[in-house]
Chains A and B, each alone.
Chain A
Amino acid sequence: MAKVSVDSEYLKDVERARRELRALISNKNCAPIMLRLAWHDAGTYDVNTKTGGPNGSIRNEEEYAHGANSGLKIALEFCDIGCGNGNAAWIKAYFKELMNSYILKDISEQVKSKCPKITYADLYQLAGVVAVEVTGGPTVSFVPGRKDSKISPKEGRLPDANKGVPHLKEVFYRMGLSDKDIVALSGGHTLGRAHPERSGFDGAWTKEPLKFDNSYFQELLKGESEGLLKLSTDLALLDDPDFRRYVELYAKDEDAFFRDYAESHKKLSELGFTPPGAKTIVKDGTILAQSAFGVAVAAAVVIAGYLYEARKR
């Protein structure tokens, strides 16, 4: 596995990818499927064997053919279009079919490795982060450097929507996540819908499937909602008292949901990933600079005071 050198060139590529993803996801209103892609790549993690996780393995045909990943090929293609990885065989075939349409021809002309350095693992997780952002959700911190892997885990690691509390706990604890993570992450159902040809289920969970907010939890507590979907695994969140208290909190307090969601999403997106180097990127350099300034001034005054004292004696 090639080592990912997160140098300034790589970081520039990441920012370029971030902007391309914003345009693509906003334009095509495809935030839900991009979020699902990120989650399904990461959610195969096994904390005991340290296998699976956010490593781009979902690109492998054997993995995107898993039942749980039905429909995700579209998201894989979008990411390739957005970041101009024109080498992918399916992209060449896809564009060959659609060459007549001049709009796509132009996109394919622009598809010239706009972001050649970024790994697929980083790209898919960045897509998930951007999907949450452009639909009005919290800012999820993104640290680049994930390596790509060609090794796909066996089918069956992602949750089964027909099951209940013990299954949810089994699957998520295996990843190394907690009860709070389970409930917060389920809030991702604020976006999107289920499709009969994919999962067999049909419909959206909330009234505005392109708006990231806490309405998923409000609808859950309402019980039966006309025309809205509730999977067994959604209802399970009400059955278990450990889960239920978070549902009630998030239904009442959107800021609390956003705060916990951002934390859980980041955790999920970094399962099995140790950011390269122990460099802590000080994001808010201004706070640091101001504090340093203040401390320096205070120290200078105290020292001046002591010198004055000393001289007097």
Chain B
Amino acid sequence: MAEREYEKETERARRDLRALISSKNCAPIMLRLAWHDAGTYDAKTKCGGPNASIRNQAELNHAANAGLNIAIQLCEEVKAKNPRISYADLYQLAGVVAVEVTGGPTIDFVPGRKDSMASPEEGRLPDAKQGASHLRKVFNRMGLSDQDIVALSGGHTLGRAHRERSGFEGPWTRDPLKFDNSYFVELLKGDSKGLLKLPTDNVLVEDPEFRKYVILYAEDEEAFFRDYAASHKRLSELGFSPPSYLGLLIKKTMITAAVAVTVVLLSYFYEMNKRDSSK
């Protein structure tokens, strides 16, 4: 079955991504690639989202995507070995693996996204210099909530900003290759020597709704991992309808029931035949 073949290739791509991301220590930029492909989604118009449109030079040229051509090139190595997997699935799988190999939670990955060459207009991703209402506007447009905003911001536990890309400089945490809740711990500390805090990071402690989650995640890493995994999955599936577990279960149950009914009917007719012939 083609589905089974695609799944096998997805697993092969997963292993290749693990090797690539671990050996090149490039988890942060891979996570950013996945996020920037998905984060263009508009829940009303249903366009944008995780469809690999970010491969388009026009979209790569958006200011928000500065530097991401590096991640695109790295993914080409894996695509070359696994040609069947869609780029959309590959980029989201890269994001999932980036979180895994840096010690983060396991994020459920469902394959099946289709590739698109239609790029949205510039300006759909958040602007680091703005505030709470901007953040809410951008994420609500995607169909995501306050909790998603805070949990996903925790992705800044990885990586750093680069002057030549965003204009900002430096990592948010002491170990930028370790996925943990230290981003929130640092946020609550206030000014941390040598560590970055964007205006949009500071907003999370200033706004009372966001702040609740910051405090929770700073105190309880398990809670952060649990919420992060759910939010990341949601983000990676914006505009994508994976075949649902329930749908499959119902399908399988119906097939089993149909088989059972057939068996019963056949035995019934066999009985009837026996009786008729014995009369």
Q: Is A26 an interface residue (CB 8 A)?
A: yes
Task: Please report the C-alpha to C-alpha distance between residue A293 and residue B251 in the assembled complex, in whole angstroms.
Answer: 12
Chain A residue with minimal CB distance to B271? A309
Query: How far is B178's CA from A103's CA once the two chains are assembled, in angstroms?
Result: 13
Q: Which residues of B contact A298 (CB under 8 A)?
A: 256-257, 259-260
Cβ contacts under 8 Å, B147 to chain A: none
Contact assessment for A137 and B25 in the assembled complex, using a CB-CB cutoff below 8 Å: no
Expressed in whole angstroms, the minimum distance between the Cβ of A202 and any Cβ of chain B is 21
A180 adjacent to chain B (CB < 8 Å): no
Quick one: which of B227-279 are within 8 Å of A by CB?
245, 249, 252-253, 256-257, 259-261, 263-264, 267-268, 271
Which residues of chain B are near A304, meaning CB under 8 Å? 264
> Does the CB pair B259–A133 fall under 8 Å?
no
B253 x A103 contact (CB < 8 A):
no
- CB of B174 within 8 A of chain A? yes
Do A27 and B256 have beta carbons less than 8 Å apart? Answer: no
A133 to B22, CA, bound (A): 10
Neighbouring B residues of A20 by C-beta, 8 Å:
103
**B102 at interface by CB-CB < 8 Å:** yes
Q: Are A22 and B101 in contact (CB under 8 A)?
A: yes
Write the chain B residue with the least CB distance to A294. B256
The answer, yes or no, to whether A85 is at the interface (CB within 8 Å) is: no
Q: Bin the interface of chain B by size.
A: 35 or more
The reply to whether A134 and B22 form a contact with Cβ atoms under 8 Å apart is yes
Interface centre among A23, A134, A301, A302 (most CB of B within 10 A): A23
**Bound Cα distance A189, B9 (Å):** 25
Residue A100 lies at the interface, judged by CB distance under 8 Å to chain B:
no
The binding surface of chain A is classed by DSSP as helix
Task: Tell me which residues across on chain B come within 8 A of A135, comparing CB atoms.
Answer: 18-19, 22-23
Known: A19-B103, A137-B15. A27 touches B264 (CB 8 A): no
Chain A residues with a Cβ closer than 8 Å to the other chain, count: 34
A298–B22 CA distance with the chains assembled, in angstroms: 48
Interface: B139 (CB within 8 A): no
Closest-CB distance, A115 to chain B (whole angstroms): 12
Among A29, A136, A295, A305, the residue within 8 A (CB) of B18 is A136
The answer for the CA separation of A22 and B21 in the assembled complex, in Å, is: 12
Cα A295 to Cα B22 with chains together (Å):
44
CA distance A27 to B101 in the complex (A): 9
**Contact status A309-B268, CB under 8 Å:** yes
A269-313: contact bitstring with B at CB < 8 Å (1 yes, 0 no)? 000000000000000001000100111011001101100010000
Verify A210–B19 contact, CB threshold 8 A: yes
Q: Interface on chain B toward A: helix, strand, loop, or mixed SS? A: helix
Whether a CB of chain B sits under 8 angstroms from the CB of A31 is yes
Find the A residue at minimum CB distance from B249.
A290
With a cutoff of 8 Å between Cβ atoms, the chain A residues found around residue B267 in the complex are 305
Asked whether, in the complex, the Cβ of A31 is within 8 Å of the Cβ of B260, the reply is no
Nearest chain-A residue to B16 (Cβ)? Answer: A136
The contact string, 1 if C-beta is below 8 Å from chain B, for chain A 69-111, is 0000000000000000000000000000000000100110000
A106:B22 contact, CB within 8 angstroms: no
Residues from chain B with Cβ under 8 Å of A297 in the complex: 253, 256-257, 260
**CB-defined contacts of B100 to chain A, threshold 8 Å:** 22
Closest B residue to A102 using CB positions: B174
Shortest distance between the CB of A143 and any CB in chain B (Å)? 18
What A residues does B105 contact at CB under 8 A? Answer: 19
Closest B residue by C-beta to A135? B19
Contacts of B271 in A (CB 8 A): 309
Q: How many whole Å from A84's CB to the nearest CB in chain B?
A: 13
| Minimum C-beta distance from B279 to chain A (A) | 15
Q: State the Cβ distance, A252 to closest chain B Cβ, in Å.
A: 16
B76-118 contacts to A (CB < 8 Å): 100-105
Q: Which of B102, B103, B174, B261 contacts A106 (CB 8 A)?
A: B174
Determine if B102 and A26 form an interchain contact, defined as CB atoms under 8 angstroms apart.
yes
> Are B252 and A29 neighbours in the complex by a CB distance under 8 Å?
no
Chain A residues within 8 Å of B224, by CB: none
Give A138 to B178 CA distance when docked, in angstroms. 23
* The residue from B177, B252, B261 contacting A26, defined by CB atoms under 8 A apart: B177
Contact for A23 among B178, B257, B264, B268, CB less than 8 A: B178
| Nearest opposing residue in chain B for A24, CB measure | B103
Within 8 Å of chain B (Cβ to Cβ): is A246? no
Give the complex CA separation of A212 and B12 in angstroms: 12
Interface string of A122-152 (1 = CB under 8 A from B): 0000000000011111100000000000000
B residues with a Cβ closer than 8 A to A are: 15-16, 18-23, 25, 27, 100-105, 174-175, 177-179, 245, 249, 252-253, 256-257, 259-261, 263-264, 267-268, 271
3 nearest CB pairs, A to B: A136-B19, A23-B103, A305-B264
